Amino acid sequence: MSFVDLRAFLEHLERNGELARIRVPVDPDQEITVIQHRVIARGGPALLFENVVGSNYRVVSNLFGTRQRTSLAFGGDPALLGERVFRLSRNLMPPGLRGIFRSRRDLMALSSARMRTVRQGPVLETIQTTPDLNRLPVLTCWPEDGGPFFTLPLVHTTDPENGTGNLGMYRLQRFDSRSTGMHWQIEKGGGFHFHKAVAKKRPMPVSVVLGGPPALIPAAVAPLPEGIDERLLAAYMMNRPLEVIARRTTGHRIPARAEFVLEGSVSPGDLRWEGPFGDHFGHYSHAADYPVFRVDRILARKDAIYPATVVGKPVQEDYYLGEALQEMTLPLLKMIRPTVVDFWAYPETGFHALAVLSVNERYPKEALKHTLGMLGEGQVSLTKVLITVDHRVNARDIVDVSQALWRHLDAKSGIHLLAPTAQDTLDFTGPAMNTGSRLILLAADDGSGPVRGTPPQHVPRPADLPAGVSATAALGPAFLIVQVDDSIKEIEPLRQALAHHAASREYLFHVIVSKDVPLTDRIMMLWGWFTRFDPLADLYPAGRKVEGNRLLFDFPIAIDARWKTGYPKPVEFDPGVEKRVDRMWPRLGLPDE
């Protein structure tokens, strides 16, 4: 099943009890954030806010708040979409009539992955040549956000040199009635296009699409190779051509059935302070200078619906979108690297902070080749910690990964620290924005490393550890998680105590986290660990030495994953807004908490 636009998707959801209409007045300033967080935590429906304070437009959010709704937007099981392309490559190599006949259905589906130009479409029903962005119900998600932000904008640009299109999702802070920020992070296609425009010293047209076929949203955030237009992926998901309208104003082809399109440009040297923003790392990302998007006109359907999302600590909509995209792209990865069994970037950690690769080695140390190869692939190159394991290990189960590390991680040959490196713009743990370090842990069973025996049997009690330790938990045999309060200022005394304690010293890693990280919730445990440490700065091994040109570590290794001075604050609701939502909750028509 596929959907030609947002409205067709909403109609399907409503028929199947997956859409809730909220008719009481709701403020886009933080109230929608609180409501969506409560609903998504219970696996609740998509939310259509029909009475938004300060705007005549409706807002829809939580479109992708369950795996089932996400699969609908993909047009079916995401893994099957990727498998279809994998099947084609296998059946058509070498080319032959038998393979073509066998693949006829897959070929027909692939042939729909294109755009079809039409002259008219609903998005042209109204055209504002004097645009006023203040009329749109743009969300202010968190108390300390720099302002209202567009959170589901589909930003279309074309390469100034060859005209290749790109569709990406980059947050836009609304500055005034005619301008927004353009938050182009590193490794983003739109940013690469703008880099070329800056070199040519000329403005670059930008079209920001809001709404349209729901497949456009996952396509825009898909990790496609540079130079492939994400709109073609959307058409492939829809199993039908994407209808577009050619615009003389920008030279762009825009989705004919979008809800809104903002047309304008960004210019070299036109910068403005943007942020902070409560992002998907669960903290406020740092403010900085970013290009300004100057809006020339707004195209919109009559009675247009404004799409939005809310991010923050997991689990949010981006969790399910990221899972589905990984399922879809894994078969394509296997086409390029046949020995790869699985690759999983953990959504709990914001994806880029932790990924696990499982490989079927054909000779000793082949795993290192694939590990380094993955770190050279597009946005995967921003992965902070990459763990490589044997093909028999479940790469998506951190406890199974921990067991593999316990059995096979060799401190002499399996730990690789790379610094300095480029880092995800939203990762705040490095010495400066966009810079940080990488940690590679190799635990593939190639017969060359250690095979440890009996794993740790006990978790040390907080009472037996230094004052300030409030809780402990094991995450498999490799990781001991130690929760501490603010009374612990220096890491070294605690590191030594853990290294000499009879129970804790058996673990390979001692991960020290702050009091706000619950050890009873594995998702939040991984969030609190991986969003708050830089490998170069925060590893404290029992010993270290240099052999040749290699730095070698001794176990156990303490990891200081506490929140530190200079880090942005984690996002938290405004208590006053929470109380307002409490009072309105009985009138929202949503399930009781």
User: How much is the pLDDT for 112?
Assistant: 77
Are 247 and 350 in a shared domain? Answer: no
* Alpha carbon distance 568, 575 (integer Å): 20
Higher pLDDT, 285 or 591: 285
pLDDT in tens, 377-390: 878 888 999 999 99
Q: SS3 for 389-453, per residue?
A: EECCCCCCCHHHHHHHHHHHCCCCCCEEEEEEEECCCCCCCCCCCCEEEEEEEEECCCCCCCCCC
The structural domain count of the chain equals 3
pLDDT, residue 97, reads 47
Q: What is the pLDDT of residues 108-156, one digit of tens each?
A: 666 778 999 999 999 999 999 999 999 999 999 999 999 999 999 999 9
The pLDDT assigned to 399 comes to: 97
Amino acid 383: pLDDT:
94
Per-residue model confidence (pLDDT) at position 100: 44
CA dist 89 and 20 (Å) reads 42
The pLDDT-based confidence of 98 (bands split at 50, 70, 90) is: low
Contacts of 443 (CB under 8 A, 6+ apart): 387, 388, 389, 390, 393, 401, 404, 405, 407, 408, 409, 414
Asked if residue 249 is part of any domain, the answer here is: yes
Task: Dump pLDDT digits (tens) for 222-252.
Answer: 988 888 899 999 998 998 999 999 999 999 9
- Label residue 448 by pLDDT band (50, 70, 90): low
The Cα 141–Cα 149 span in angstroms is 8
Q: Return the pLDDT at 121.
A: 97
3-state DSSP assignment of residue 482? strand
- Comparing C-alpha atoms, which of 385, 415, 416, 435 is closest to residue 508? 415
CATH code: domain of residue 210: 2.30.110.10
- Write the single-letter amino acid at 322: G
pLDDT at 449: 64
pLDDT of the residue at 101: 43
Q: Is the pLDDT of residue 461 over 90?
A: yes
**What element of type H or E holds 181?**
strand 179-181
* 3-class state of residue 187 by DSSP: coil
Looking at residues 159-182, what average pLDDT do you find?
A: 96
CA distance 387 to 370: 11
Q: Containing H/E element for 194?
A: helix 189-200
Q: Is 279 assigned a catalytic role?
A: yes
Using alpha carbons, list the distances in angstroms from residue 335 to 64, 85, 233, 327, 386. Answer: 28, 9, 17, 14, 21
Examine the domain organization and report whether 143 and 84 are in the same domain: yes
* Residue 292 · residue 300 · CB < 8 Å: no
On whether both 397 and 262 belong to a single domain, the answer is no
User: Cis (ω within 30 of 0) for the bond into 276?
Assistant: yes
Same domain, 240 and 160: yes
Position 106 scores a pLDDT of 56
Within-domain flag for 506: yes
Q: How would DSSP label each residue in 503-526?
A: TGGGSSEEEEE-TTS-TT-HHHHH
The pLDDT, as a whole number, for residue 334 is 86
Q: Assess whether 283 and 387 both reside in one domain.
A: no
Residues 82, 201, single domain; the answer is yes
CATH code where residue 516 lies? 3.40.1670.10
Tell me what the pLDDT averaged over the chain comes to. 92
Secondary structure class of 571 (helix, strand, coil)? coil
What is the pLDDT, as a whole number, of residue 195? 95
428 pLDDT tier (thresholds 50, 70, 90): very high
Kind and range of the H or E run holding 484: strand 479-484
Is residue 583 situated within a structural domain? no
**pLDDT tens, position by position, 14-32:** 999 999 999 999 999 999 9
Q: 137 and 273: one domain?
A: yes
Contact between 114 and 40 under an 8 Å Cβ cutoff? The reply is: no
- What pLDDT score does 450 carry? 67
Which among 5, 145, 279, 534 is annotated as catalytic? 279
Residue 29 lies in a domain: yes
Would you say 591 and 44 are in contact if contact means Cβ atoms under 8 Å apart? yes
298: nearest Cα among 265, 260, 246: 260
Domain check: are 439 and 472 in the same one? no
Judge whether 325 lies within some domain. no
What is the domain range of residue 248? 6-307
353 and 272 housed in the same domain: no
Q: Which of the four pLDDT bands, split at 50, 70 and 90, describes residue 102?
A: low
Supply the DSSP symbol for 568.
P
Same domain, 255 and 156: yes
What value does the CA radius of gyration of the chain take, rounded to a whole number of Å? 25
With respect to residue 240, please indicate whether it lies within any of the assigned structural domains. yes
The mean per-residue pLDDT over the stretch 255-279 comes to 97
- Of 84-93, 304-313, 503-512, where does mean pLDDT reach its minimum? 84-93
Average pLDDT, integer, range 459-484: 96
Domain membership of residue 186 (yes or no) is yes
pLDDT digits (tens, 9 = 90+) for 489-542: 999 999 999 999 999 999 999 999 999 999 999 999 999 999 999 999 999 999
Q: How confident is the model at residue 585 (pLDDT cuts 50, 70, 90)?
A: very high
The rounded distance, in Å, linking the Cα atoms of 75 and 48 is 22
The residue with greater pLDDT, 413 or 556, is 556
Contact between 188 and 295 under an 8 Å Cβ cutoff? The reply is no
Residues 348, 435, single domain; the answer is: yes
DSSP 310: -
DSSP alpha helix (H) spans, 295-390:
317-336, 366-374
Tell which residue, 466, 472, 488, has the closest CA to residue 564: 488
Q: 201 and 75 share a domain?
A: yes
pLDDT tens across 323-358, in order?
A: 999 999 898 888 888 899 999 999 999 999 999 999
Tell me whether residue 212 is in a domain. yes
pLDDT higher than threshold 60 for residue 204: yes
| Percent share of the chain, pLDDT over 90 | 80
pLDDT greater than 50 at residue 391: yes
Instruction: Tell me what pLDDT residue 162 has.
Output: 93
* Residue scoring higher pLDDT (187 or 408): 408
